[in-house]
Amino acid sequence: MADRDLVFLSPEEALGAIRSDFTQYPPQTRLFLDLYTQVLGPGWTVIEDARNEDLWITSPSRRKRNMRRISVRDFGELLLNALNSQKPELPKLAGLCELIFQTRAYPGTNGSGHCKGIWIESGMQAFQCRQCGRCCMNLDYRFELTHADYELWHQLGRGDILEWVAAFRRNGEIVSYAIWVYPGTRQYAPVCPWLEKIPGSAMWRCRIHDVKPEACRQYPASRKHARMTGCPAFS
Ligand code: SF4
């Protein structure tokens, strides 16, 4: 199995990945309903309110008539808080990862054998980019530029790229970045300025492919990530 197909996460990283999954996509009602008994334990009742797209919940300590309404997003937050306070054992955490990331996951140790955690199959071996450009046009990575990306462009003398980057400073130190900002202005470009259509085809290409930001290089992180964000690379 190639490196990109198998990812090792420490328990803390696995919990962080679950948080990212719960918060980056539209609320995942079905998923939350499938896993809440594993996370919260017995005695909880959760009912969908189809009219309002909310949930009704009651904890073991409350009577059914005391059910309260909660948004799906807040219910996800309740599950995350429960997970973080429980710090589940690795087998349970692996089972949750399988359900949440919709791929095989199992407990193990990292390559050096020093750290226990979860191995997750990303399913990326079947990835085949169609160069449809949907990710570049639809996803918002405006604030995802890393310091390493910025430094690399400096080292390579890529002033042509850097002039599209806004660096925000505090006490003289750069604390964050924004891309892609029209040079000399504070106005964001509607789409990435390095995306161009391949003449005579329906495909697109990136004009800075070899040095594109890490967020672009890492996309999609998994089959689920692709499916949830409209990437057809696995279809
Ligand atoms: S959306 Fe997927 S298939 Fe389309 S360009 Fe992006 S990575 Fe490639």
* Burial classification of residue 106, based on how many CB atoms lie within 10 Å of its CB (0-12 exposed, 13-18 middle, 19 or more buried): middle
Query: Which atom from ligand 1 is nearest to the alpha carbon of 204?
Result: 5
Check whether residue 118 and residue 73 sit in a common domain.
yes
Q: What is the pLDDT of residue 211?
A: 97
Q: What is the pLDDT of residue 62?
A: 67
Buried b (16+ CB within 10 A) or exposed e, 133-164: bebbeebebbebbeeebbeebeeeeeeebeeb
Cβ–ligand 1 contact at 88 (below 6 Å): no
> pLDDT averaged over the chain?
92
Check whether residue 8 and residue 117 sit in a common domain.
yes
Q: What is the pLDDT of residue 159?
A: 97
Quote the number of domains for the chain. Answer: 2
Protein residue with least CA distance to atom 2, ligand 1 = 231
Q: What is the pLDDT of residue 127?
A: 92
Q: Is residue 232 part of a domain?
A: no
Query: Which atom from ligand 1 is nearest to the alpha carbon of 230?
Result: 1
Q: What is the pLDDT of residue 64?
A: 57
Cβ atoms of residues 79 and 32 within 8 Å: yes
Q: Is residue 235 part of a domain?
A: no
CA of 182 to the centre of ligand 1 (A): 25
Q: What is the pLDDT of residue 65?
A: 63
Check whether residue 61 and residue 80 sit in a common domain.
yes
Check whether residue 149 and residue 117 sit in a common domain.
no
| Number of other CB atoms surrounding residue 101 within 10 Å | 24
With vertex at residue 87, the alpha carbon angle to CA 84 and CA 90, rounded to the nearest 5 degrees, is: 135
Check whether residue 28 and residue 120 sit in a common domain.
yes
Cβ–ligand 1 contact at 116 (below 6 Å): no
Q: Is residue 18 part of a domain?
A: yes
Check whether residue 96 and residue 173 sit in a common domain.
no
Instruction: Round to whole Å and give the CA distance between 227 and 35.
Output: 20
**Position 3 confidence tier, pLDDT thresholds 50, 70, 90:** low
Q: Is residue 230 part of a domain?
A: no
What is the pTM assigned to this prediction?
0.82
pLDDT of 183-220, one tens digit each? Answer: 999 999 999 999 999 999 999 999 999 999 999 999 99
pLDDT of 127-170, one tens digit each? Answer: 999 999 999 999 989 999 999 999 999 999 999 999 999 999 99
- pLDDT of 1 above 60: no
Q: Is residue 229 part of a domain?
A: no
Q: Is residue 196 part of a domain?
A: yes
pLDDT of 105-131, one tens digit each? Answer: 999 998 787 899 999 998 888 899 999
Check whether residue 120 and residue 170 sit in a common domain.
no
Instruction: Round to whole Å and give the CA distance between 8 and 16.
Output: 13
pLDDT of 19-76, one tens digit each? Answer: 999 999 998 999 999 999 999 998 899 999 877 789 999 988 766 568 899 999 999 9
Check whether residue 80 and residue 11 sit in a common domain.
yes
Probe ligand 1: pick from 231, 234, 235, max atoms within 8 Å of CB? Answer: 231
Instruction: Round to whole Å and give the CA distance between 83 and 172.
Output: 39
Check whether residue 33 and residue 115 sit in a common domain.
yes
Cβ–ligand 1 contact at 67 (below 6 Å): no
153 closest CA partner among 218, 211, 217, 205? 211
- pLDDT of 174 above 70: yes
Check whether residue 92 and residue 11 sit in a common domain.
yes
Instruction: Round to whole Å and give the CA distance between 24 and 142.
Output: 15
Who contacts 163 (Cβ-Cβ below 8 Å, separation ≥6)? 183, 184
Check whether residue 205 and residue 162 sit in a common domain.
yes
Q: Is residue 77 part of a domain?
A: yes
Range of the domain at 13: 3-125
CA of 131 to the centre of ligand 1 (A): 5
With vertex at residue 78, the alpha carbon angle to CA 75 and CA 84, rounded to the nearest 5 degrees, is: 145
Cβ–ligand 1 contact at 130 (below 6 Å): yes
Check whether residue 148 and residue 91 sit in a common domain.
no
Q: Is residue 231 part of a domain?
A: no
- pLDDT of 4 above 60: no
Please count the CA atoms within 13 angstroms of the CA of 195 that sit on its side-chain side: 17
Q: What is the pLDDT of residue 235?
A: 85
